[in-house]
Amino acid sequence: MRIEWRFSRVLVLAFAVLLAACGPRAATGPQYSIEVWKSPTCSCCKKWVEYLQREGFKVTVHEEPAMNPLKAKLGVPEAVASCHTGLVNGYVIEGHVPAEDIRKLLAEKPEARGLSAPGMPIGSPGMEVDGQHDPYETVLFNADGTTKTFAEHGDRSAAAKP
């Protein structure tokens, strides 16, 4: 009888410890899992992956030497193509998209194939170059090539000054 009572106390304690360990993560919001395909030699891609990890994303990286066929398969139009390509909750994430835009996309769930930061904008996450900051947009895209501005980054008026 006494041993049984002790055992149940241990169980309750174990459960409390488990709750405490899980609690804080649940409070910080959802942790998204993203798959990323990148060329093995792409260093800015690697920086973007590390940035996403710091931002709390769970990243699975696939080294892919042939990125263009993969982009075509995933429905990334050439006009919005960049270096790496990601996939999260069914959306394609193309290039150096900021984490805040990915979170906004996943919260708002707009109808689109994915979200891109076309090209390789200087100053975007993973493309940091000593204080330089090119203004850039992220765009929603569809496989048929249609796009729509999603968010603007950088100060256009400041960038226009000499």
Which residues of the chain form contacts with Cu ion (CB under 5 A)? 44, 83, 120
What number of CA atoms fall less than 13 Å from residue 78's CA on the CB side? Answer: 1
> What's the CA gap between 79 and 140, in Å, rounded?
12
What number of CA atoms fall less than 13 Å from residue 79's CA on the CB side? Answer: 11
Q: Give 77 or 118: the residue with its C-beta nearer to Cu ion.
A: 118
Q: Give 27 or 66: the residue with its C-beta nearer to Cu ion.
A: 66
The answer to whether the beta carbons of residues 67 and 42 sit under 8 Å apart is no
Element spanning 90, H or E: none
Minimum Å distance from CB 88 to Cu ion? 18
Q: Give 77 or 126: the residue with its C-beta nearer to Cu ion.
A: 126
Minimum Å distance from CB 120 to Cu ion? 5
> What's the CA gap between 80 and 146, in Å, rounded?
10
Minimum Å distance from CB 63 to Cu ion? 15
Minimum Å distance from CB 111 to Cu ion? 27
Minimum Å distance from CB 96 to Cu ion? 6
The answer to whether the beta carbons of residues 40 and 22 sit under 8 Å apart is no
Q: Give 75 or 119: the residue with its C-beta nearer to Cu ion.
A: 119
Q: Give 8 or 43: the residue with its C-beta nearer to Cu ion.
A: 43
φ, ψ for residue 51, nearest 5 deg? -60, -45
